[in-house]
Amino acid sequence: MRVFLFFFFVATSLSAFEEKVRPILEKSCLKCHGGKKVKGKVDFSRILTEKDADANFELWETVVEVIEAGEMPPEDETPLSEADQKTIIAWYQERSQVGIEAEASVFKPRRLSGPEYRNTLRSLFGFDLEVAVAKAEQTVVSDSSLVLKLLPTDPPGESGFINDTHRARLSPNIWDQYLHLGNAALEKLFSKSSRKQLSDLMGEPLADDWQPDDLSQQQAENLIRNFVPRALRRPVSEEQLSKIFLGITGKEGVELLAATKFELKAILMSPRFLYRGLLMKGEPGRQQAVDQFELAERLSYFLWEDRPDDELTRLAIAGSLGNEKVLNAQVTRMLASPKARSLAGSFGTQWLGINSLDELVGKDPIRHHALKTQATDFLNYLFTEKRPVMELIDSKVTFVNQGTSGFYGKDRQRMKRYPHAKGIERQRTPHQKLELRHAEGRGGLLTMPGILTMNQGPIQRGTWMLRRILGVEIGDPPADTPPIKASPRGKNLTFRERFEAHRSDTSCARCHAKIDPLGFALEGYDQNGQFLLASDRKKNAKQAPRKIDTSGKLPSGEAFETFAELKEILLTKKREPIVRNIVEQTLAYALCRKLVRSDQAVVDALTKDLCENDGTWESLFQQIANSLPFRETIIESVNISHE
């Protein structure tokens, strides 16, 4: 169960950690978990005060768990005394029982991620910057965006998402790429092929024979007047515009064109464009509602990974976006837009690790396209069509094309046929929405062939489900973990039987008790995602199929014989932790940061509502948009001047 369920601390005893717990850690734990030697990514040397302990709240559930299991300290170290064990456990239990009210976080500027920058530039100019790519059905065609080709890939932040760029440095290399991209966008804007986009930004039609050198003073001013507020995502005062107009005043022809491009490029290179929130108005030092334009930005980059459109901006100018009904209506409207596809392509893909498929099946572009887009099409369906959040686990709807149809038995007969292009034996085809009627062992994300392919073997599958679906934090296996031994001579043991000896090690047992039941429940699927236990497969087999053991028992006591029975447990008894994890992941993505203990009240409330009301993804998005951490902030200092 995700650690948010357990702790949210307040200063009930300000020195309890320093006086009672810290000395025990120094005496028994720092040798392996402190300073230069840090095992399992746990560094107690950085946790000096109660405030530090609170900031690392996700750690303490595991600490208590391994202490109670007698796994830490390891056998070759001096064990904790019974009194020390009781001290740590009592401190943890006392702190975990106390709730905490929701509060806003301190505002931290954040650079646009690569996809956000690409989409913002595209919606600002009305066209994309692309590189020429030779396309063929038999080759993998990567994204043709020049922006994503040039900008380095953003690493995931502490939240696990690439939009968490608070600590991402603006390096000289990235700065040079921004300059190149800005120049490329402006050159294309004034080219013949972008005449419509230029006309739209100027607010007037241009004659067919109009040339960039014909740019008039009035046209240049109109272009700047329309471009700047769109780029800065908020209105700009006449005083600010007047200062920009000084750079083009008195010029004409080639000189005016160059000066206009320079002023536009200055905006594109400005931190006010490259960063979010720098122009947010507010009073430093207190918790307050974000201004209307910041709220519009937060919503648009959450749902669209893009700048606010004209309607969001209009509502922000009118001051009505803060109204709950208005905001909910905007969420509904925005989910109906094709731009909402980014929720599946960005949020869903990162959360569930779907990009792992790129490495596994990249050599077969048809298969790669089918497996990856099936999962994202399904997520897009859940996110944008008012589907319950728990339909992620089980659904009567899937998406199938020619590359995935073979996994769905008789149901494939109801598919619409796509004609083959002449001379092309295999081709990528779009997925079709398909109701599952006969397909065995399917339904929901967990049994999609792409998910099973990217997680091959029971340990990888169990670990993925534990982390990504149930939200359980488990560490990486120790570097000295021994390999699984082969079957003894004369015996033909299954992997499961051979694995029993491995997991009997006490240092491995705690995690494997959680991982193994989930992973071995999926043993009925081969490495390509085929369901080996399907009735028609067993009936047509030339020889008796090997016995496959999919039974298991969860650490919490629930036993099952098949994956279908495990799925029923996930939908019922494990509903709350799954929904909680969904809430946490979505909220972290929306806030572009790692969740902190003050977010717990929001997580608790949303989890309870979704569980009790069989809540939908749309409801979750709306409630997050209306939540305190999304709509409020604390500004530590004055932002960049609006002048």
624 contacts 84 by C-beta, under 8 angstroms: no
Domain annotation covers residue 328: no
Number of domains making up the chain: 3
Whether residue 525 sits in one domain with residue 481: yes
User: In this model, does residue 509 exceed pLDDT 80?
Assistant: no
The confidence score (pLDDT) of residue 154 equals 93
Whether residue 486 sits in one domain with residue 355: yes
Please give the sequence-ordered ranges of beta strands (E in DSSP) within 418-526, or none if there are none. Answer: 432-435
70-to-31, 67, 81, 82, 382 alpha-carbon distances in Å: 18, 5, 11, 11, 43
Name which residue leads in pLDDT, 124 or 13.
124
The confidence score (pLDDT) of residue 507 equals 60
Distance CA 329, CA 338 (A): 17
Distance CA 581, CA 472 (A): 9
How far from chain centre, in Å, is Cα 108? 19
pLDDT band for 142, please (50, 70, 90 cuts). Answer: low
Distance CA 195, CA 214 (A): 13
Distance CA 373, CA 385 (A): 17
The confidence score (pLDDT) of residue 543 equals 57
Average pLDDT over residues 573-587: 97
Name which residue leads in pLDDT, 37 or 454.
454
User: In this model, does residue 398 exceed pLDDT 90?
Assistant: yes
Which residue range forms the structural domain that includes residue 146?
101-283+574-626
Average pLDDT over residues 119-126: 97
Domain annotation covers residue 467: yes
State which of 96, 119, 154 marks the end of a domain.
96
Distance CA 147, CA 32 (A): 44
Question: Picking from 289-298, 356-365, 446-455, which range would have the lowest pLDDT averaged per residue?
Answer: 356-365
The confidence score (pLDDT) of residue 319 equals 96
63 contacts 92 by C-beta, under 8 angstroms: yes
User: In this model, does residue 11 exceed pLDDT 60?
Assistant: no
Whether residue 268 sits in one domain with residue 121: yes
Whether residue 262 sits in one domain with residue 116: yes
Block residue for tokens 């994309």: 128
Average pLDDT, the chain: 86
The 3-class secondary structure across 282-332, one letter per residue, is CCCCCEEECCHHHHHHHHHHHHCCCCCCHHHHHHHHHCCCCCHHHHHHHHH
Computed on alpha carbons and rounded to an integer, the radius of gyration of the chain in Å comes to: 28
The confidence score (pLDDT) of residue 6 equals 37
- Report DSSP letters for 184-240, one per residue: HHHHHHTSGGGHHHHHHHHTS---TT--GGG--HHHHHHHHHHHHHHHHTS---HHH
This prediction's pTM: 0.88
Q: Which of 161-175, 414-428, 429-443, 605-619 ranks highest by mean pLDDT?
A: 605-619
Query: Half-sphere exposure (CA, 13 Å, Cβ side) for 229?
Result: 19
- Smallest Cα–Cα separation from 598: which of 629, 631, 632? 629
Distance CA 66, CA 19 (A): 22
The confidence score (pLDDT) of residue 538 equals 60
How far from chain centre, in Å, is Cα 631? 20
Domain annotation covers residue 308: no
pLDDT band for 534, please (50, 70, 90 cuts). Answer: confident
Whether residue 618 sits in one domain with residue 592: yes
Average pLDDT over residues 169-184: 93
Domain annotation covers residue 379: yes
621's CB contacts (< 8 A; 6+ apart) are 302, 303, 331, 335, 383, 586
Name which residue leads in pLDDT, 97 or 406.
406
- Here the tokens at position 144 are 């043709």
3-state secondary structure of 140: coil
The confidence score (pLDDT) of residue 254 equals 96
DSSP conformation class of 582: H
Q: Which helix (H) or strand (E) segment is 122 a member of?
A: helix 114-125
Average pLDDT over residues 565-576: 97
219 contacts 184 by C-beta, under 8 angstroms: no
Whether residue 441 sits in one domain with residue 352: yes
- Smallest Cα–Cα separation from 570: which of 588, 556, 584? 556
* Per-residue pLDDT tens digits for 324-341: 999 999 999 999 999 999
Domain annotation covers residue 340: no
224 contacts 247 by C-beta, under 8 angstroms: no
Domain annotation covers residue 331: no
3-state secondary structure of 633: strand
User: In this model, does residue 423 exceed pLDDT 60?
Assistant: no
User: In this model, does residue 134 exceed pLDDT 60?
Assistant: no
Looking at the DSSP bridge assignments, the partners of residue 400 are 432
State which of 565, 590, 605 marks the end of a domain.
565
User: In this model, does residue 263 exceed pLDDT 50?
Assistant: yes
Domain annotation covers residue 298: no
Whether residue 145 sits in one domain with residue 30: no
Distance CA 555, CA 466 (A): 12
Average pLDDT over residues 69-81: 69
- Here the tokens at position 333 are 């409207």
Average pLDDT over residues 565-591: 97
Q: How many CB atoms lie within 10 A of CB 602?
A: 22
The confidence score (pLDDT) of residue 2 equals 42
Whether residue 361 sits in one domain with residue 219: no
- Smallest Cα–Cα separation from 307: which of 209, 250, 231? 231
The confidence score (pLDDT) of residue 62 equals 72
The confidence score (pLDDT) of residue 428 equals 77
Q: Which of 69-73, 131-135, 337-341, 523-527 ranks highest by mean pLDDT?
A: 337-341
Whether residue 61 sits in one domain with residue 131: no
Whether residue 544 sits in one domain with residue 516: yes
Angle between helices 292-303 and 324-335 (to 10 degrees): 30
The confidence score (pLDDT) of residue 455 equals 93
Please give the sequence-ordered ranges of beta strands (E in DSSP) within 490-571, or none if there are none. Answer: 552-553, 559-560
Percent of the chain with pLDDT over 90: 60
Average pLDDT over residues 184-195: 96
Whether residue 579 sits in one domain with residue 560: no
The confidence score (pLDDT) of residue 12 equals 43
The confidence score (pLDDT) of residue 407 equals 92
431 contacts 425 by C-beta, under 8 angstroms: no
* Per-residue pLDDT tens digits for 459-487: 999 999 999 999 998 766 655 566 666 66
- Smallest Cα–Cα separation from 108: which of 602, 591, 574, 624? 591
Domain annotation covers residue 599: yes
Whether residue 240 sits in one domain with residue 108: yes
User: In this model, does residue 36 exceed pLDDT 90?
Assistant: no
